[in-house]
């Protein structure tokens, strides 16, 4: 990457509205332009202009379905970039104000999705449990052990795919300041927990909550 290309990329995320769009899209869903405009409190025309720049810059992709225009993050690598930058930002710069904002921030810190894997205290706790049980090697890198591959296959039905995406990689958690599990295994874990009804998404943001069945299952499987 040249210095000019790096500066152009930084400029895309230097605008607060565009940055807010990218953070919202870390939930892994596709959003309409009008939904993002409402979230950021800007006019639809302003949102469209910002989204056009993010699409042109390769951070977002758009899909049209009928009259609606949907956008989402272009790849897991873009999601990692946004989450890593958030982790390096000072969390005290924008302290939540008001009961609703404080409650939402607490829910995000407890458990949330980071694009397609789990983050927050829940994500870190699961990662720690995998390491403590010898299922995840964090000493010589960040990889599932042989026992870990067997455990993921037996308990979660996960078989690694041939892909450029790593089976396991660390993702720095911006609230915990520690790594949680990402990669193919992290994505499958999150999806399987949701399919099993062990976690449920909150409306309107990336926060998830552990259901009673999920609390029992996670305790039985990993002692979480």
> Can you name the CATH fold of 3-74?
Arc Repressor Mutant, subunit A (1.10.10)
pLDDT digit string, tens, across residues 189-205 = 999 999 999 999 887 67
Alpha-helix runs per DSSP H in the chain: 3-14, 16-24, 33-40, 44-56, 76-88, 99-110, 120-132, 146-156, 183-195, 212-222
pLDDT average, residue stretch 3-32: 86
CB contact at 8 A, 89 and 174: yes
Mean of pLDDT over the chain: 86
Determine the average pLDDT of the residues in 20-34: 85
Q: What is the pLDDT of residue 133?
A: 95
Which pLDDT does position 128 carry in this prediction? 95
Instruction: Supply the DSSP string of 133-168, one letter for each residue.
Output: TTSEE-SSSSEE-HHHHHHHHHHH-----SSSS-SS
Please give the average per-residue pLDDT across 41-57, as a whole number. Answer: 91
Closest to 85 in 3D by CA, of 1, 18, 163: 18
* CA dihedral angle for residue 153, residue 156, residue 160, residue 163, rounded to 10 degrees: 170
Kindly list the domain boundaries of the chain, sorted by start residue: 3-74, 80-222
* pLDDT tens profile 135-145: 999 887 889 99
Q: 169 pLDDT exceeds 60? A: yes
What single DSSP character describes residue 97? -
- Per-residue confidence (pLDDT) for residue 40, from 0 to 100: 87
Rounded to 5 degrees, φ, ψ at 124 are: -70, -40
CA distance 85 to 83: 5
User: In terms of Cα–Cα distance, which of 116, 223, 139, 123 is closest to 180?
Assistant: 123
| pLDDT at residue number 94 | 58
Instruction: Answer whether 145's CB lies under 8 Å from 151's CB.
Output: no
């Amino acid at each position: 990457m040249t210095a000019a290309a790096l500066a152009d990329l930084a400029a895309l995320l230097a605008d607060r509205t565009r940055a807010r769009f990218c953070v919202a899209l870390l939930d892994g869903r596709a959003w309409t332009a009008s939904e993002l405009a409402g979230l950021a409190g800007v006019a639809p025309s302003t949102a469209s202009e910002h989204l056009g720049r993010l699409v042109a810059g390769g951070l977002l992709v758009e899909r049209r379905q009928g009259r609606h225009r949907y956008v989402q993050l272009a790849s897991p690598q873009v999601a990692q970039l946004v989450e890593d930058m958030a982790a390096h930002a000072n969390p005290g710069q924008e302290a939540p104000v008001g009961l609703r904002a404080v409650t939402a921030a607490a829910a995000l810190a407890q458990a949330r999705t980071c694009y397609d894997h789990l983050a927050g205290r829940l994500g870190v706790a699961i990662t720690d449990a995998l390491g403590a049980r010898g299922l995840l090697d964090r000493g010589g890198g960040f990889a599932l052990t042989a026992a870990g591959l067997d455990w993921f296959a037996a308990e979660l039905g996960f078989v690694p795919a041939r892909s450029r995406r790593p089976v396991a990689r660390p993702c720095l958690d911006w609230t915990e300041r520690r790594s949680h599990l990402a990669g193919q295994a992290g994505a499958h874990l999150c999806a399987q927990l949701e399919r099993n009804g062990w976690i449920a998404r909150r409306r309107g943001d990336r926060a998830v909550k552990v259901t009673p069945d999920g609390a029992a299952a996670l305790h039985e499987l990993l002692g979480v």
